[in-house]
């Protein structure tokens, strides 16, 4: 009985090793391809803020899985605490994936008519990284929050 389950365990691992060389090649090939909108994190933040400081704040809540079971569909939700009145509202929510080739995911320009500063979506993540939300407030300040997402690869296809 012990021998039997031992052999089965071995079979399982043998199956997965068959895949490793393919994955390595795919990763190398992917490196050569540069996307059309390539932009790194610092440049993207600068483009959003025009160089103004970004303050991490508990007013911005970002939710994304700590462990994503795949990188192709990662749920992300952002809410920003705000009365959403004409005088005091969230002008924009920017969602960034810190290590994607193009870190920009979405720039959401809100109005008081939203009633609540919320944006929900799903993003593709090229690997483990931070998903960052930057909120642009009507007073011209920028607040942020981030969530680290570990992307697991693997499984059997």
Q: Binding to other proteins (CB under 8 A): which residues in 4-63? A: 4-5, 8-19, 29-30, 33-37, 63
Task: By CB under 8 A, tell whether 104 contacts other proteins.
Answer: yes
Assign 137 to helix, strand or coil. strand
Start-end of H helices in the chain: 2-17, 20-32, 41-49
Q: Which is nearer to other proteins, 22 or 58 (CB)?
A: 22
Q: Binding to other proteins (CB under 8 A): which residues in 125-154? A: 152-154
Q: Which is nearer to other proteins, 97 or 143 (CB)?
A: 97
Q: Which is nearer to other proteins, 15 or 140 (CB)?
A: 15
Task: By CB under 8 A, tell whether 114 contacts other proteins.
Answer: yes
CA distance 102 to 145: 19
Task: By CB under 8 A, tell whether 75 contacts other proteins.
Answer: yes
> 142-151 and 54-56 as β-strands: parallel, antiparallel, unpaired?
parallel
* Residues in contact with 74: Cβ distance below 8 Å, sequence separation at least 6, in sequence order: 64, 65, 68, 122, 123, 124, 125, 131, 149, 151
Candidates 135, 119, 131; CA nearest to 52 is 135
The contact set with other proteins (CB under 8 A) reads 4-5, 8-19, 29-30, 33-37, 63-70, 72-75, 77, 84, 97, 100-111, 113-124, 152-157
């Amino acid at each position: 009985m012990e021998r039997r389950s031992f052999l089965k365990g071995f079979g399982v691992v043998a199956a997965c090793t068959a895949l490793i060389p393919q994955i390595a090649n795919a990763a190398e090939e992917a490196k050569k391809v540069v996307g059309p909108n390539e932009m790194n994190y610092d440049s993207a933040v600068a483009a959003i803020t025009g160089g103004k400081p970004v303050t991490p704040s508990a007013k911005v809540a970002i939710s994304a899985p700590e462990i994503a079971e795949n990188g192709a569909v990662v749920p992300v939700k952002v809410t920003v605490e705000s009365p959403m009145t004409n005088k005091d509202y969230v002008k924009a929510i920017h969602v960034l994936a810190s290590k994607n080739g193009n870190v920009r995911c979405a720039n959401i320009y809100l109005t008081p008519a939203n009633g609540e500063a919320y944006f929900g979506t799903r993003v593709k993540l090229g690997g483990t990284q931070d998903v960052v939300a930057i909120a642009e407030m009507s007073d011209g300040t920028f607040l942020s929050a981030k969530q680290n997402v570990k992307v697991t690869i693997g499984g059997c296809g």
